[in-house]
Chain A
C-alpha cells in the first residue's frame, strides 16, 4: 500500500461520502453544496493528516532505538 494507493482510497471514500449525503439528505441545491463542502473539507483534513504522517516515515532519518530495559 503505497502513498498513491491510499490517497486513491481517500478520494474514493470522499466521493462515496458525498454521494451518500446527496442521496440520503437531498434538501435543495444550496444545502447540498454545504454538505458537499463539509465532506470535502473533512476528507482533505483527514487525508492531510495521514499523508503528513506517512510521508514523514517514508525515509527515516532517525530509527527506533529500544530502551535498555527491554
Chain B
C-alpha cells in the first residue's frame, strides 16, 4: 500500500494528495541508539510505532532513565517556582549548551540541595526574626501594663499610707487595719504569662480562660496596630498582646493548654523594670543582627537563582528532549541478541534520504562499528495522512482537519477550500467598507506575525491570529463582492459607469409610480447604484441573490462530484466511476443543473416564465404543454428526457454496485486460495501481523443496505443541499439590511439634527454597531455558514475523512505538547 502507483489522471499537485508514506524498519546498534533517535527528532519526519504496546511503562527498557528525566524535570519545575517567587525571570538565550545530561543531573541535584538548604536556613532565620519581633512587642506592651500598674500601686500605697497617717481617728475600723497588714505578710505570689494572640480569637480566648479558671484569672490585652508576621505560619495577622495573671500551678497548666489551642505565642517576661529594659535592648540588637544575616542570605539566593535563570531554558529543553528520546527508545523492541534495537515507523517517501543521512551521521558521531540498517516494509495497513502545509495553507487545512482527517491519499478539499471558503464567506459578507476593515485587521496580525507568534496570547486572539490568512482571504473577497453588490457601508457608488436607468421623461413625474426606464447599457460591474433605496430594491435583490445562491451551489456541488471522480480514478476504482460518479452527475444536473440553465435562459431572454411552476410541473405532469412558461423550443422534450434520466439514475446508483462488489470479492477469494505465495518471507512476517485486515467477511446484505443509505442520502441530499445554499441569500440579505439600517437610522439621522454633539454621539454609536454587530458577529455567523457549506454540502460528495494524522517524532513539536 506504501506505493499506490500515481495514476495518470492528473499530474501531482501540492496538497491535493497526502504525501506517499511507507513503513520503515530501522535496526539500530544499541550504542548509537540514543544519538540516532536524537538526530531523527531533529529531523522530525518519522512517526515511531509502539512495538511494546503490551508492556506497562515500568516494564520497559528505559523506564529508569525516564524516571530520572522526570526527577530532573521536577527539579527544574522547583527552580522555576522559586524563581517566580523571587521575581527572577528566565532569560531566553539562543546559545546552545554543550552539557551532558549526566553532568546536568549532578549539577541539578547540587543546586537543588543548595537551594533547599538555603531556603531552610532562610526560613529558620526568618522565623526567629519574627519571634524576636513579637517578643519585642510583648516586652514593650506588657512593660507598659506593669509600669502603669506599678504607678497605680504606688499611688494606692501612698493614698493608703496617707490615710493611715491621718487615720488615727475614730472612724478607722480596727479590724480592717489588721486584715490588711496581715494580708501583705502572707501574700500569695501571683504567676503571669505574656504573649500574643490573634485578634479575631482574642474575645473567645478571654472567655475560655475565664471559664476554665472560674474567673480566677486576670487578663490584660493591648492591640498591636500593625499586623504582625506569625512565626509559625509566616502570614501577616493582626494580634493582641496579652498578660495573664493567675494563681497556682494548676491554673498555669490550664492556661498553657488554652494558649496552645489558640495559637498564642508566649514569651518569657521579667517582672523587674530594669531587666525589661535590658532585654529590650538585647532583643533589638539581635534583631538587627538577624536582619543583616537574612539580607545576606537573600542576596546569595538571588544570585544563585539568577545563575539558574541564565541557563534555565536550555536545561529545560535538554531535559525535555532527553525524556522524549527515552520515551521513543522505550517504543523500540530489543533484538534477541540484545545488541540492537528494532524500530518501526511511518515516514514520507521523500524523507528516505534525509533519514538515511541522519542514521549515518549518528553512527559516525557515536563511533559505532556498524551502521543502522534502514529497510522498507510492505504492509496493508493504512498509512497516516501527512500534508506538507505552509503558514498560509495550514489554517485552511486546519478547517478541513477539524471535520475529519483525510483518508490516506484521498483528494484533499483544501486545494479548493483556500478559494471557495473565503469566496462563499464574501458572498454573505459583501461590503467593501467592511471588507477593508477586515483587511486592516488581518494585515495587522500578519505584519506583527513574528512578534505575536512568540508571545502567549489569550484564547480569542490566539484563534484570530491562527486564522489570519483565512481572514485576509475573506477580506479580499469581501472587498470584491462588495464592489459587485455595490455597497460601501451600505452606500452605493457609481464608480464604473453612470446608472443604466433614467426617468421616462424630463418631468420625472411617474418615477415613483411606474418607475424608471433602462436607457443605457447594463451597468458594467456589479449592481446598478440606482437600486439603492428604491421601492423595488428588495424584490430585485431577493430574486437576484436567491438565484445566485442556487447557481453557486450547483457549481460547487458539481465540483464535489468531480472530486469523487478524481478519487475513483486515483484508487483505480472503476465501479465508483460507472456506478457512482456518472449517475450522481446525471441526477444532480438533470434536476438542478436544469434549474440553473433555466435561470440563465430566463435572465438572458428576459422571459416572464415562472420557474417554480416549470419545475413543479416537470414532475407532476411532464407531458403537459408548457404554455406561456415555455422558455425555449423543445423544452418539453428536454424535460422528459431529463426526468427519465433522473429516474433511471437512482436504481443505477443503487443496484449494480453491491452485486459487482460481491462478484469481485468472490473472484478475489477464489483466486487467492490457489495462488502460490509469491512474497518473500520478510514481507510474509509483516503480513501475518496484519492478517486480520486482509480477509474481511463479505456480508452482502450489509453492503446493500450501505449502498441503499448512500443512494437515499444522495437523492434527498441533492434537494436539501441545494436548498441549503439559499443561506447565502439569507445571510447576505441580512448583512446588507443591517448595515443600511445602521447607516440610515443612526448616522443620517444624527446628521439631520445639525448638532455637533448629536453627530458625534451618532458617529460613536454607528462605529460601535458596525464593529460589534457587523464586523464581529456577522463575520462569525458568515464564517460558520461558509464552514457548514464546505463541510456538509461540498465534502459529503466525495470526502471520507476517516484517516489519521501523521505525528512525527520531532523536537520542534515538543513545546506544543506542554
Residues of A within 8 A of B (CB): 1-2, 6, 29-31, 33-34, 37-38, 41-42, 45-46, 48-50, 52-68, 70
Contacts and interface: CB of A to CB of B under 8 A. Distances in A.
Contact of B535 (A1, A38, A67): A67
B603 interface: yes
B626 interface: no
Contacts of A53: 484, 526-527, 544, 548
Contact of A49 (B16, B484, B501): B484
Nearest to A63: B515
B522 A64 contact: no
B419 A31 contact: no
B496 to A, nearest CB: 8
A49 B605 contact: no
- For the complex of A and B, the 5 pairs showing the least CB-CB separation, nearest first, are A59-B606, A65-B515, A34-B14, A63-B515, A41-B419
B535 A57 contact: no
Interface residues of B, number: 58
A12 to B, nearest CB: 15
Given A38-B419, A64-B528, A70-B512, 14 more contacts: A30-B13, A34-B15, A37-B13, A45-B423, A50-B525, A52-B544, A52-B552, A53-B527, A53-B548, A56-B543, A59-B604, A59-B606, A65-B534, A67-B535
B14 A31 contact: yes
Given A37-B415, A54-B522, A61-B608, A45 B515 contact: no
A33 B419 contact: no
B529 to A, nearest CB: 10
16 contacts: A1-B524, A29-B11, A30-B12, A30-B14, A31-B14, A48-B555, A49-B481, A52-B544, A53-B527, A57-B528, A58-B603, A62-B515, A62-B540, A63-B516, A64-B528, A65-B535
Given A41-B419, A58-B603, A64 B501 contact: yes
Interface string B527-566: 1101101111101100110011001100100000000000
B512 A68 contact: yes
B480 interface: yes
Q: Is chain A's binding surface mostly helix, strand, loop or mixed?
A: helix
A61 to B, nearest CB: 7
B192 interface: no
Contacts of A33: 11-14
B523 interface: yes
Contact of A52 (B420, B525, B548): B548
Contacts of A62: 515, 536, 539-540, 543
Contact of A55 (B12, B477, B515, B604): B604
Listed residue (A37, A38, A49, A61) with the most chain B CB atoms within 10 angstroms of its CB: A49
B500 interface: yes
A50 B481 CA distance: 9
B439 interface: no
Contacts of B531: 64
B716 interface: no
Contact of A34 (B13, B515, B522): B13
Nearest to B540: A62
Given A31-B14, A37-B415, A52-B547, A63 B536 contact: yes
B512 A45 contact: no
A12 B299 CA distance: 73
Contacts of B543: 56, 62
B617 interface: no
Nearest to A64: B534
Contacts of B548: 49, 52-53, 56
